Homo-oligomer: A and B are copies of this chain.
Amino acid sequence: MIRFDSDYIEGAHESILKALNETNFIQTVGYGKDEYCEKARESIKNECKAPNTDVHFLVGGTQTNMTVISSILRPYQGVISATTGHINGHETGAVESLGHKILTVAGQNGKITAKQIDERNKEHLDDKSCEHAVQPGMVYISYPTEIGTVYTKEELEDIYAVCKKNKLYLFIDGARMGYGLMAQGNNVSLEDISNLCDVFYIGGTKVGALLGEAVVIINDELKKDFRYYIKQKGGMLAKGRIIGIQFLTLFEDGLYFKISKHAVEKAMEIKRAFAEKGFSFKCDSTTNQQFPIISNSKLEKLNDKYGYTFWEKHDEEHSVIRFCTSWATTDESVKSLVRDIKNL
């Protein structure tokens, strides 16, 4: 079977394995205070062109989301998110488990708008008994979104302006950051991201690493004592170097962007194949996840040979399915799939 189920079905990029091998017997201190972590931080800051940020390494996405969010909010505050946001449906209530309500707004194409945020906040403030409701304290968006779409630079500018106006912190979940930055037609750079939010993270797990996410804190107000949060929420790896070495490998010479670009190109080949055959899509994804709508009978023809994710029922006879590419997707796999799509 050729798997397109997700972007975490293989191990790590071989440069990462090589680096882990080469450094294996070098002795370092633990908990992310070693020199590899330090160098990795510098590389990331360089790419962000944001020398005064704080960079921290955590293990996984759910953990990162809940750690960052709970570090920002006061107990009576909640986080505004698209209903489709990862924190709202795919993290077993981790955010709520730390005491915070998710204040959902209906997204479109996985995205929410500056206007929606503004109105949601106004609705709260206009309530004379507003202390009977959860106060919006921050906004959570994903770049790219859960369904592979990306915010434009202008959309991000509008969102951040509204956040600042309303004193809401903006947090960008970048579990698939690389695939967004390398998206077709994208006009947002890592530097832009750094300028257009208070805190974000760069995903490693889904972009070539064995594990690990790099949190980049821009806003000084959010920097204090962040290591306490990481430790308390279980995200501080004793052998912190394991994540440092990986991010150093990914960021010291642009590997992160290169492999992300590869994944997006492969995804575009799949997208074209479906489109040319007349299939429509759940949304116009320009990143490494594609969501074609396909009849259940045709789907059966793919079942034996390809792994994919059932996303949702489209109607009685059609399903939305997801194909993911990654840094590890081979030309051969995609060629095979494209061929079989043509024959559907």
Enumerate A74-107 residues with CB–CB distance to B below 8 Å: 74-76, 78, 89-94, 96-102
A23 / chain B contacts, CB cutoff of 8 Å = 11
- Nearest chain B residue, comparing its CB with the CB of A7: B238
Most chain B Cβ neighbours within 10 Å, of A26, A134, A238: A238
A58 CB to nearest chain B CB (Å)? 8
Does A51 count as interface, using CB distance less than 8 angstroms? Answer: no
- Nearest chain B residue, comparing its CB with the CB of A63: B234
Interface membership of chain A positions 301-338, coded 1 if the CB is closer than 8 angstroms to chain B and 0 otherwise: 00000010000000000000000000010000000000
Q: Which of B6, B30, B93, B232 contacts A97 (CB 8 A)?
A: B232
Enumerate A1-34 residues with CB–CB distance to B below 8 Å: 1-3, 5-6, 8-12, 14, 17, 20-21, 23-31
* Cross-chain contact A30 with B6 (CB below 8 angstroms): yes
Does A237 count as interface, using CB distance less than 8 angstroms? Answer: yes
Interface membership of chain A positions 212-236, coded 1 if the CB is closer than 8 angstroms to chain B and 0 otherwise: 0000000000000101111111111
* Cross-chain contact B92 with A133 (CB below 8 angstroms): yes
A328 CB to nearest chain B CB (Å)? 7
Enumerate A171-218 residues with CB–CB distance to B below 8 Å: 205-206, 210-211
Q: Which of B98, B133, B210 contacts A242 (CB 8 A)?
A: B210
How many angstroms between the C-alpha atoms of A14 and B8 in the bound complex? 24
How many angstroms between the C-alpha atoms of A89 and B229 in the bound complex? 15
Does A135 count as interface, using CB distance less than 8 angstroms? Answer: yes
Does A289 count as interface, using CB distance less than 8 angstroms? Answer: no
A314 CB to nearest chain B CB (Å)? 16
Q: Which of B25, B62, B70, B225 contacts A328 (CB 8 A)?
A: B25
* Cross-chain contact A232 with B14 (CB below 8 angstroms): no
Does A131 count as interface, using CB distance less than 8 angstroms? Answer: yes
A31 / chain B contacts, CB cutoff of 8 Å = 129
Interface membership of chain A positions 236-254, coded 1 if the CB is closer than 8 angstroms to chain B and 0 otherwise: 1111011000000000000
* Cross-chain contact B96 with A227 (CB below 8 angstroms): no
* Cross-chain contact A24 with B8 (CB below 8 angstroms): no
* Cross-chain contact B96 with A96 (CB below 8 angstroms): yes
* Cross-chain contact A92 with B134 (CB below 8 angstroms): yes
Does A61 count as interface, using CB distance less than 8 angstroms? Answer: yes
* Cross-chain contact B59 with A234 (CB below 8 angstroms): yes
- Nearest chain B residue, comparing its CB with the CB of A330: B25
A133 / chain B contacts, CB cutoff of 8 Å = 89-90, 92-93
Does A342 count as interface, using CB distance less than 8 angstroms? Answer: no
How many angstroms between the C-alpha atoms of A127 and B81 in the bound complex? 22
* Cross-chain contact A10 with B30 (CB below 8 angstroms): no
* Cross-chain contact A131 with B231 (CB below 8 angstroms): yes
A165 / chain B contacts, CB cutoff of 8 Å = none
- Nearest chain B residue, comparing its CB with the CB of A232: B92
A8 CB to nearest chain B CB (Å)? 4
A109 CB to nearest chain B CB (Å)? 22
How many angstroms between the C-alpha atoms of A3 and B30 in the bound complex? 12
Q: Which of B59, B94, B206 contacts A232 (CB 8 A)?
A: B94
How many angstroms between the C-alpha atoms of A309 and B213 in the bound complex? 29
A75 / chain B contacts, CB cutoff of 8 Å = 70-71, 97-98, 229, 232
Q: Which of B8, B59, B89, B328 contacts A60 (CB 8 A)?
A: B59
The 4 closest A-B pairs by CB, nearest first: A63-B234, A11-B24, A76-B228, A92-B232
